[in-house]
Amino acid sequence: MKSEFYRNIVIATDGSENSKKAISYGIGIAKLSGATVHTLYVVDTSAFSSIPMDGGWEEMYEVLKKEGEKAVSEVRELGEASGVNVRDVILEGHPSSEIITFAENNDADIIVVGTLGKTGLDRFLMGSVAEKVMRSSKIPVLVVRGKEQ
């Protein structure tokens, strides 16, 4: 029996080991509900604001874009193996903002993200895309804690 509760699920990935648990949860929910998964990777172009616009910037961008392509293709392969329809999406910009905007513009029912679950100074220094998405999204967010390294 398929549920109409979830039709569109956004799984945000950064390609890390940490995101694998979140991907698994998202694929599992999609399989149970018959939802389409939109696997999303955001090339963080805000990180380039302090880098001069020369060959170094372009090389860094290409590396990040290739990481994104690999990350979303891994999610697509897992989805296909589970019988889930997966759509790859690679965007540019500030990750939390892009994730929320994409989800809102594509009628997402839930956003699935992973986090290391850092606290205190580590979280303050590194920031958390998952936390920013959770705090700013009007769409429900499932934050899946991975293993802290």
Q: Which of 15-19, 64-68, 103-107, 141-145 bottoms out in mean pLDDT, i.e. has the lowest?
A: 15-19
Note the pLDDT of residue 87.
97
Note the pLDDT of residue 55.
60
Note the pLDDT of residue 149.
47
DSSP for 4-68, please give it.
SS-SEEEEE--SSTTHHHHHHHHHHHHHHHTPEEEEEEEEEGGGGTTS-SSHHHHHHHHHHHHHH
- Of 41-45, 58-62, 79-83, the range with the highest mean pLDDT is 79-83
pLDDT tier at 65, thresholds 50, 70, 90? very high
CATH topology of domain 8-145: Rossmann fold (3.40.50)
Q: Above 60 in pLDDT, residue 24?
A: yes
| Cα 37 to Cα 8: distance, rounded to the nearest angstrom | 6
Domain ranges within the chain, ordered by starting residue:
8-145
Q: Above 50 in pLDDT, residue 125?
A: no
Note the pLDDT of residue 36.
97
Q: Which of 8-17, 20-29, 40-49 bottoms out in mean pLDDT, i.e. has the lowest?
A: 40-49
- The model's pTM: 0.86
Report, as an integer, the average pLDDT of 58-76.
Answer: 91
